[in-house]
Amino acid sequence: MTIRLLPERTVNRIAAGEVVERPASVVRELVENAIDAEATRIEVVMTDGGRGLISVTDNGAGMSADDLTLCIERHATSKLPDDDLLQINYLGFRGEALPSIGSVSRLHIVSRKRGADSAWGITVDAGRKSGPVPEALGEGTRVEVHELFYATPARLKFLKTARTELSHANDTIKRLAMAHPAIAFSLSDGDRVVFRASPTSGDLFAARLDRLSSILGAAFQENAIAITAEREGFRLTGYAGIPTFNRGNAQHQFLFVNGRSVRDKMLGGAVRGAYADFLARDRHAIVALFLECAPEEVDVNVHPAKAEVRFRDAGLVRGLIVSALKHALADAGHRSSTTMAQAALGAATARTQPGPVYQGIQRSSPRPKDGSGMETPFLGYNAPPGARIDEPLSAELEQDMQQYPMGAARGQLHETYIIAQSADGIVIVDQHAAHERLVYERMKKAIDARGVPSQVLLLPEVVEMEQFLVDRLVRRADELSELGLMLESFGEGAVVVRGVPAMLGECDIKGLVIDLADDIAEFDEALSLKERLEDVCSTMACHGSVRAGRRLTIPEMNALMREMEETPHSGQCNHGRPTFVELKLADIEKLFGRR
């Protein structure tokens, strides 16, 4: 079999298989080109989910007739002036998108260079080029992609429904809109506008928050905390949702590197690590983080779709993200999501049916009548009250208490919930969840201060395993001893465990050591034991905290809330659930028609 060079059209179609995965890929490439051309308005139209037409119009710098002829050639670009792949300052740089798109569709481009007298157009039909010819266009560039994949019919079979493909394109445009708040974006299906984002003004930080709230909703703005941090040439900015404002998947985690949207596992893992102490494993934070660095510090040329990146110092970047998020969450204090209060208010409905409101409450006896025959005020009920209220505090002390963020305790409902009055509303505290978090934070401080204490075993336990696992454990014996696990080699294929972390109490030592050895063999990091200790801390805190059903006095309730105000992360329990809900007086008045 003779080796030969493939024809150019075949090469372009092979390249298109990497660059043009689906209609959303075409949209991303064309919109990124418009952004690189310094456009301030970008309009996208998709019909039939991109199968019929994809049109991208911008008011950017435009192209001359000569540039238009070159732009459809493979690896022709204006974005690498020094041919240095370590100095990439644009979203695009390979010069592959337009020829790849043109090889599998009917591509038509019309452009007018800024300041030029006329516009020019060029056509590429499944790789066959014609033009340029004079055309009419006010400014910028319009790219039309007709009948995508008509030249490769097999690819059409892998496309989803028109609605699904449109939603993928919508997600792509939203991500680009988040990173570029000064640009106006719109997406239409030909009949209706699916997405529109107006340009935002002001400083970049405020503009980004306005753009994010317009895309993610007003709830994000209410429950987001600002992120800003710098370290050794890297700058991290953005916004992160407080832990109680979370989702069931990671689709609402938006990460950008030098203005480029990426789906990088390392960056996603850093976000998970920062929230690991506050969220259950099946819940995910909502974040929009923007990382900026010198171009030579990051390689964006490692993925065909440029969706992944590689950092020169990945550990530095991961540490910056984790540290910045943890500090911001600590500064947020005891904040809890406003969506919890909105959900509670939304569940509250006025009762309009006729008859007594409290059907279960019966009169202890007929009401006595006074001399005029009128009934006197009713004095007693058989049913016991559902809430308990202690003797009130003095007026001065109670007024002082209400000035605290969580207010002054008024009583206890169902021996589970503390009802407090704040300066502008009502606070309802889950006493068990709140105290569970407080106990957990105390335990973590004790561990940080004194290290992990070890419990020496009266009878050391021998654990048998493969020799290569034994070798890995013995090499890390010093590090493991700092975590409270004391072990040493015990002949061929075994280790002897002489001490375990005291916090673990009675545990399956053999299972713990074998699982730890497996983790070290796979990751070469002793993470499993640390994770087990945190889980144990959480469990111990749960069992050592104030239980639901326990009666508290007013001073105990106030003391619990004062400690919550001073303790970071007390707005959620160890599993990410809220520990309190605050209902504003204005919202309560709306329920009763007072506003």
pLDDT range class, residue 58, cuts 50, 70, 90: very high
The predicted pLDDT at position 435 comes to 79
The answer to whether residues 191 and 282 belong to one domain is: no
User: pLDDT for 119-134, tens place per residue?
Assistant: 999 999 888 888 789 9
Average pLDDT over residues 510-530: 62
The predicted pLDDT at position 358 comes to 43
Q: Which of 197, 216, 243 is the last residue of a domain?
A: 197
Higher pLDDT residue, 345 or 143? 143
What's the domain range around 492? Answer: 334-348+386-595
User: pLDDT for 222-250, tens place per residue?
Assistant: 888 899 999 988 999 999 988 888 888 88
By the 10 Å C-beta count (0-12 exposed, 13-18 middle, 19+ buried), 197 is classed as buried
Does residue 365 sit within a domain? no
Does residue 102 sit within a domain? yes
What the block records as the tokens of 205 is 């930080």
Q: What is the DSSP letter of 391?
A: P
Closest to 166 in 3D by CA, of 343, 295, 48 = 48
The predicted pLDDT at position 387 comes to 52
The predicted pLDDT at position 110 comes to 94
The answer to whether residues 160 and 41 belong to one domain is: yes
Higher pLDDT residue, 425 or 306? 425
Give SS3 for 398.
helix
Question: What distance in Å separates the CA atoms of residue 218 and residue 213, rounded to the nearest whole number?
Answer: 5
Average pLDDT over residues 576-593: 81
Task: Flag whether pLDDT at 424 surpasses 80.
Answer: yes
Bridging pattern class, strands 253-257 and 287-292 = parallel
Average pLDDT over residues 7-16: 68
Q: 187 and 23 in contact (C-beta within 8 Å)?
A: no
Tell me which of 92-101, 135-144, 210-219 is least confident: 92-101
Average pLDDT score over the chain:
79
**Per the structure, how many domains does the chain have?**
3
> CATH number of the domain that 467 lies in?
3.30.1540.20
Bridging pattern class, strands 408-413 and 387-388 = antiparallel
pLDDT winner (highest mean) among 189-198, 353-362, 376-385, 522-531? 189-198
Average pLDDT over residues 24-47: 92
Q: Give the percent of the chain with pLDDT over 70.
A: 76
Question: What distance in Å separates the CA atoms of residue 63 and residue 448, rounded to the nearest whole number?
Answer: 61
Closest to 564 in 3D by CA, of 398, 427, 397, 448 = 427
Question: What distance in Å separates the CA atoms of residue 480 and residue 495, rounded to the nearest whole number?
Answer: 13
Closest to 277 in 3D by CA, of 129, 154, 440 = 440
The answer to whether residues 429 and 391 belong to one domain is: yes
Question: What distance in Å separates the CA atoms of residue 451 and residue 443, rounded to the nearest whole number?
Answer: 11
Tell me which of 112-116, 125-129, 441-445, 588-592 is least confident: 441-445
The answer to whether residues 185 and 212 belong to one domain is: no
The predicted pLDDT at position 478 comes to 80
The answer to whether residues 412 and 477 belong to one domain is: yes
Distance of CA 587 to the CA centre of its chain: 28
The answer to whether residues 247 and 103 belong to one domain is: no
Please give the radius of gyration of the chain, using alpha carbons only, rounded to the nearest integer: 32
Does residue 589 sit within a domain? yes
The predicted pLDDT at position 388 comes to 52
Average pLDDT over residues 14-35: 83
The answer to whether residues 263 and 189 belong to one domain is: no
pLDDT range class, residue 362, cuts 50, 70, 90: very low
Average pLDDT over residues 507-519: 74
Task: Flag whether pLDDT at 501 surpasses 80.
Answer: no
> CATH number of the domain that 285 lies in?
3.30.230.10
The predicted pLDDT at position 383 comes to 42
The predicted pLDDT at position 521 comes to 62
What the block records as the tokens of 44 is 């996208």
The answer to whether residues 316 and 413 belong to one domain is: no
pLDDT winner (highest mean) among 1-15, 72-86, 183-197, 551-565? 183-197
Average pLDDT over residues 386-414: 70
Question: What distance in Å separates the CA atoms of residue 323 and residue 69, rounded to the nearest whole number?
Answer: 49
Q: 454 and 466 in contact (C-beta within 8 Å)?
A: no
Higher pLDDT residue, 474 or 363? 474
The answer to whether residues 553 and 566 belong to one domain is: yes
The predicted pLDDT at position 530 comes to 52
Q: 292 and 228 in contact (C-beta within 8 Å)?
A: no
Does residue 143 sit within a domain? yes
Average pLDDT over residues 139-160: 87
pLDDT range class, residue 591, cuts 50, 70, 90: confident
333 sits in the region (left: phi over 0; alpha: psi -120 to 50; else beta) called left
User: pLDDT for 275-332, tens place per residue?
Assistant: 877 777 778 888 999 999 988 888 877 766 667 788 888 888 888 999 899 888 887 7
Does residue 457 sit within a domain? yes
The answer to whether residues 43 and 133 belong to one domain is: yes
The answer to whether residues 157 and 173 belong to one domain is: yes
Q: Which of 145, 175, 197 is the last residue of a domain?
A: 197
Element containing residue 223 per DSSP (H, E): helix 218-223
The predicted pLDDT at position 376 comes to 44
Does residue 474 sit within a domain? yes
The predicted pLDDT at position 431 comes to 86
pLDDT range class, residue 529, cuts 50, 70, 90: very low
Task: Flag whether pLDDT at 364 surpasses 60.
Answer: no
Closest to 509 in 3D by CA, of 498, 519, 521 = 498
The answer to whether residues 440 and 543 belong to one domain is: yes
Q: What is the DSSP letter of 297?
A: G
Q: 315 and 267 in contact (C-beta within 8 Å)?
A: no
The predicted pLDDT at position 382 comes to 42
Task: Flag whether pLDDT at 558 surpasses 60.
Answer: yes
Q: Which of 140, 170, 197 is the last residue of a domain?
A: 197
Closest to 72 in 3D by CA, of 45, 42, 103 = 103
The predicted pLDDT at position 160 comes to 87
Q: What is the pTM of this model?
A: 0.64
Q: Would you give the end-to-end CA distance of the chain in angstroms?
A: 84
Higher pLDDT residue, 334 or 107? 107
Does residue 381 sit within a domain? no
Give SS3 for 53.
strand
Does residue 3 sit within a domain? no
> CATH number of the domain that 60 lies in?
3.30.565.10
The predicted pLDDT at position 288 comes to 92
Average pLDDT over residues 502-511: 69
Q: 263 and 172 in contact (C-beta within 8 Å)?
A: no
CA distances from 460 to 157, 276, 463, 475, 510 (A): 63, 33, 10, 20, 11
Question: What distance in Å separates the CA atoms of residue 177 and residue 184, rounded to the nearest whole number?
Answer: 8
